[in-house]
Amino acid sequence: MKEKLSAFYGKDGTKKLLASLVSILVGLLFGAIVVVIVGLFNSRIGLKGAWEGVRLIFLGIFSTGRDAAGALTWGFNPTNFGDMLFRAMPLIMTGLSVAVAFKTGLFNIGAPGQYLMGTMASLMVALSLPTEKMGVFLVWLLAFLAGVIAGALWGAIPGAMKALLNINEVLACIMTNWIAANVVTWAFDISNFKNVAESTKSGYVYKTTFNGVATAKMGLDKVFPGSQVNGGIFVAILAAIGMYVLINKTTLGYQLKACGSNRHAARYAGIKDKRNIVLSMAIAGALSGGGAALYWLSGNTEFFWSTYQSLPAIGFNGIPVALLAVNNPLGVIFSGIFMSMLNVIGLQMSNLTAYNEYLTDIIVAVIVYLSAFALVIRMLFDGRKKKRAVRNDANAPGADTGKPAEDAPKPDEAQTGKGGDQA
């Protein structure tokens, strides 16, 4: 049994999983400490409020509000769970975008720009095609594919710069991010898809339900009533499974990883490194653009185009999702759901206590830093394993410990053949 456990804990995948779990646990504990400190130094919160904040950090997804006496109530909250899955949908897609690029040795920091281009393409197609003639599903499908293609094309630009001109993909992605922010702002500004609220001097693009387009609920509205969740979460999960198969089970995936490990060695082996670098960034961009399409085609979201002279945080949030999943496409599903759960918990803390919802950002920040140091955590696990192995060897029968072991044959027995074969 011990040998099986030792073999299980010795696997590289197990070490990565344990490192991620340690990162999550330490991040939550650190957030709890911050909540307690803030509560003790804030007269509006106090020790009782601090204890409520700590419980919300660990169990906030199960919070159902407060009772008549003002005490927190707990149980299955379908709205919280549904909103968690809805928020996880674009996080999974942008996390996959970063993870796939990481697998091929590239750092896709251009997910925000790819997300914006996917947003623009999907919304414009969804709001411009006549649903009464083409059908709602066909328009939805074309809008989704438009977002995927727009993201892929935008992702291929830094990939081509890396492959053909050897320009660092991080610099190229930063450039394309800000170009996308201004292009999207300009395109919606001159379009007829916006509604202007004169009182606030802000503008937003119509919901896709303005044209009758919305992602099918697929029965999730009955399981999670009152939430925003829809069938797009299934598309995101299928995308993650597809990326896992592509990276680990196909020749193309092997070529992409080979280029990421050593571009020059891959070229020597006959792999087209330039093509694969561009293709890798195009796939990453397609995932980001697809995540934007799934989010904005839900039918209950409004895009404020005038605010997007800044970059969407959802694109950057894909980085901690990928880091926490150790760039495993299947792990991205769970890390994306976990990160979205923290967002829901932050809203719960803001609604039910005097705390600010952005306290959960501290937890995310700690988890991100620890995820970045996941290699150090795995080295600590390896160090403990080596120490344990040395200790076991020292206690083994016949080990050179300065005194004979109990099970070791005595000198006279070794010579007479007692207790063993005679030499």
In this predicted structure, the answer to whether residue 405 has a pLDDT above a threshold of 60 is no
What is the structure's pLDDT at 42? 83
Percent of the chain beyond pLDDT 90?
44
Number of CB atoms found within 10 A of residue 192's CB? 8
pLDDT tens digits for 322-359?
988 888 999 999 999 999 998 898 888 888 888 877 77
In this predicted structure, the answer to whether residue 8 has a pLDDT above a threshold of 90 is no
φ and ψ of 196, to 5 deg: -105, 125
What is the structure's pLDDT at 396? 58
Give 22's pLDDT tier (boundaries 50, 70, 90): confident
φ and ψ of 226, to 5 deg: 85, 0
Mean pLDDT of 56-78: 89
Running DSSP on this structure, what letter comes out for residue 304?
-
What is the structure's pLDDT at 422? 45
Q: Which long-range contacts (CB under 8 A, 24 or more apart) does 173-176 make?
A: 173/107, 173/108, 173/109, 173/110, 173/113, 174/109, 174/110, 176/110, 176/113
**What is each CA distance from 25 to 17, 28, 118, 177, 253, in whole angstroms?**
12, 5, 35, 33, 33
Q: Which of 78-92, 107-121, 301-315 has the lowest mean pLDDT?
A: 301-315
What is the structure's pLDDT at 418? 47
Running DSSP on this structure, what letter comes out for residue 207?
P
What is the structure's pLDDT at 206? 85
Q: Which residue has the higher pLDDT, 371 or 304?
A: 304
Mean pLDDT of 358-386: 68
What is the structure's pLDDT at 423? 38
Mean pLDDT of 374-380: 60
Mean pLDDT of 229-252: 94
pLDDT tens digits for 177-191?
999 999 998 888 888
What is the structure's pLDDT at 82? 94
To the nearest 10 degrees (0 to 180), the angle between helices 136-165 and 273-296 is 150
pLDDT tens digits for 27-57?
889 888 988 998 888 888 888 888 988 999 8
* Mean pLDDT, the chain, integer: 84
**Hey, which residues does 202 pair with through a beta bridge?**
197
Give 203's pLDDT tier (boundaries 50, 70, 90): confident
In this predicted structure, the answer to whether residue 319 has a pLDDT above a threshold of 80 is yes
Residue ranges and CATH numbers for the domains of the chain are: 79-344 (1.10.3470)
